[in-house]
Amino acid sequence: MLRYCHYWATRFPEKNGSRTGNGYPVDISLNLVTIILSIVLIAVILLQTKGSSFSGAFGSGSDSIQRTRRGFEKTLFQFTVGIAILFVVLAIISSILLS
């Protein structure tokens, strides 16, 4: 048991001045949630732009027509905005807590 505790104490020394005490469960959970959220955000953005051409993304496409989002497209857009806001808030919280 002593060897096990010594292993963790040498591998993960306690941070001085951390607001969360030991902080390691918080550090790990914030990092994991950030990674998962970034993967979900990338996937949702790729799903959203799958139907549009690359030149249309910059406004130079000849067939660029303004159209309204309906149904699944509107839901996917709102979900993307929500995930992006959540990602930014989590990044701010992470930078404050882990600094």
Any idea where the domains of the chain sit in the sequence? 20-53+68-99
CA distance 72 to 79: 10
pTM assigned to the model: 0.60
User: Among residues 47, 52, 84, which one has the least CA distance to residue 67?
Assistant: 52
Contact 12, 24 (CB under 8 A): yes
The first and second tokens of residue 19, run together, are: 């607001």
Question: Residue 11: how many CB atoms within 10 A of its CB?
Answer: 7
Please name the residues in contact with 84: beta carbons below 8 A apart, sequence gap of 6 or more: 41
Residue-wise pLDDT tens for the chain (99 aa)? Answer: 445 555 555 665 555 444 545 557 888 888 899 999 999 999 999 988 655 555 445 555 555 566 677 888 888 989 999 999 999 999 999 888 877
